[in-house]
Structures are given as C-alpha cells and as structure tokens.
C-alpha cells in the first residue's frame, strides 16, 4: 500500500501518518527526514540538497524526487509499502514521482487530503511554543504547560520560533494554498483522492480515515 498524505502545516498529517503506520505496518517517509538522513550519511545528493537548504532556497525537484525514489525503492520499504508526508508538494513533483514509480512497476494507491480551514491553521500554528532546554513542544490551545511559559519536563523557559510567528505562518500557508493545493485536482483526476475533514479532534480524524482507507483499498 503506497499512500500520499497532504495538507497544510498544522493540518495534523504527521500525527495521522504515525497512526496509519501503527495500523497498516508500512513506512512513514517524510521529506524532512529524507533531507536530514541524506546529509548525515554524507551522500552526494544529500550534500547538494543541504547547500540549497542552507541558502534558504527550495531543493530543486529533480534532486528531491531522486532522493525520495532512492528511499522508496529500498527493499524493506518497497515490500511493506509507504506513506509519503510532505512530498510531493507540487504537480511537477507528483508527475515525476508517478513516472519514477511506473518505471519500477509501482504506483501510488491513494492520496489523502486533510482539509482544515486557514483560520484554524493559523490558530493552531501560532499557539506553538518550545522549551529552551530540550525543544519540548507545547501548544497554548491544545497542549498547554502546567505553568504558563515554563516547560513541565525541565522547568526551562518556553519561546516561539520565528517560524511559528505570524508573517512566517502566513507565508507558508500562502505557498500551500497556491501550489500544493493543486494536488487535489491531480489525484482527483486519477480517481485516487480521499478528502478528509481535518477540523476535528485527532482520534476522530484517525478513526474516520482508517475506516475509509480500509474500504478504499479493498475496492
């Protein structure tokens, strides 16, 4: 079973990916992990990708796609299936992924879109704080610390990353809702789209998603 998850930052797709892994025993592949691992391994591709990230630029599609395909085709992952999270981000990447998989006689079985209204995403993302000592993550709305501004685990001060402040959040959401959202049409045209209401609590979303995926995959 090969699945693509997409949704804006704050839509909960990373959390849902972990739940799907526990249910379907496949591998969770996130683009962030791929870039980090490739850099740590010291591979040529990883080095090139890192040079873009360091300059604050997007890693070009051909490099990203090749890194993802290398991971996907590792035998243990190819056997168990995979859940992609954070990739593809654009139609160009989705096409390159389909072409790469086709050459291997594989394909994406299903894509899942986690639909959360922009206003709710902003609320979720702007509530994020992390601790100075160990980067423990809190959210003033969904997971507040026992004492405001202080980490429960180590007593260190909580702060908000620049990434989680208003303008940075707006910019990331702008990119998502102008580019990545086009994947809706791409996968709908292939009849491979599950549209999930992500504006519910985590357990409700995952129960609904797992039931629908089981039905979908047995059709």
The footprint of Zn ion on this chain (CB under 5 A) covers a number of residues equal to: 7
What is the CB-side half-sphere exposure of residue 36 using CA atoms within 13 A?
Answer: 5
Residue 28 binding Zn ion, by CB under 5 A: no
Distance, CA of 174 to CA of 28 (rounded, Å): 26
Residue 17 binding Zn ion, by CB under 5 A: no
Distance, CA of 10 to CA of 91 (rounded, Å): 21
Residue 188 falls in the annotated catalytic set: no
Residue 13 falls in the annotated catalytic set: yes
Residue 19 falls in the annotated catalytic set: no
Residue 79 falls in the annotated catalytic set: no
Judged by beta carbon, residue 78 or residue 130, the one nearer Zn ion is: 130
* DSSP for residue 162: G
Residue 134 binding Zn ion, by CB under 5 A: yes
Judged by beta carbon, residue 83 or residue 131, the one nearer Zn ion is: 131
Residue 131 binding Zn ion, by CB under 5 A: yes
Q: How far is the CB of 129 from Zn ion (least distance, A)?
A: 10
Residue 128 falls in the annotated catalytic set: yes
Residue 151 binding Zn ion, by CB under 5 A: yes
The SS3 assignment for 207 reads helix
Distance, CA of 148 to CA of 125 (rounded, Å): 18
Q: Decide: 172 and 124 in contact? Cβ < 8 Å.
A: no
Residue 136 binding Zn ion, by CB under 5 A: yes
Scanning 98-106, 149-157, 167-175, 210-218 for contacts with Zn ion by CB under 5 A, the matching segment is: 149-157
Pick from 153, 202, 207, 217: which binds Zn ion (CB under 5 A)? Answer: 153
The sheet that has 82-85: what strands, in order across it?
27-30, 82-85, 2-6, 110-115, 193-197
Q: Decide: 182 and 95 in contact? Cβ < 8 Å.
A: no
Q: Which residues bind Zn ion (CB under 5 A)?
A: 131, 133-134, 136, 151, 153-154
> What residues are annotated to the active site?
13, 89, 128, 161, 172
């Amino acid at each position: 079973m090969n699945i693509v998850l997409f949704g804006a930052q704050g839509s909960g797709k990373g959390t849902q990916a972990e739940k799907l892994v526990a249910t379907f025993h496949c591998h969770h592949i996130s683009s962030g992990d791929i870039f980090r691992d490739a850099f740590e391994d010291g591979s040529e591709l990883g080095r090139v990708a890192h040079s873009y990230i360091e300059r604050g630029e997007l890693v070009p599609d051909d490099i990203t796609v090749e890194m993802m395909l290398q991971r996907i085709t590792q035998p243990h992952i190819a056997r168990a299936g995979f859940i992609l999270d954070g990739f593809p981000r654009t139609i160009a990447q989705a096409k390159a992924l389909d072409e790469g998989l086709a050459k291997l006689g594989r394909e994406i079985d299903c894509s899942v879109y986690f639909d959360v209204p922009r206003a709710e995403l902003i609320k979720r993302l702007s509530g994020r704080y992390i601790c100075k000592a160990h980067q423990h993550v809190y959210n003033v709305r969904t997971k507040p610390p026992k004492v405001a501004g202080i980490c429960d685990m180590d007593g260190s001060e909580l702060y908000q990353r620049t990434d989680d402040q208003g303008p940075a959040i707006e910019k990331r959401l702008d990119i998502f809702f102008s580019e990545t959202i086009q994947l809706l049409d791409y996968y709908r045209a292939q009849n491979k789209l599950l549209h999930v209401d992500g504006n519910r609590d985590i357990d409700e979303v995952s129960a609904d998603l797992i039931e629908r995926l089981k039905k979908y995959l047995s059709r």
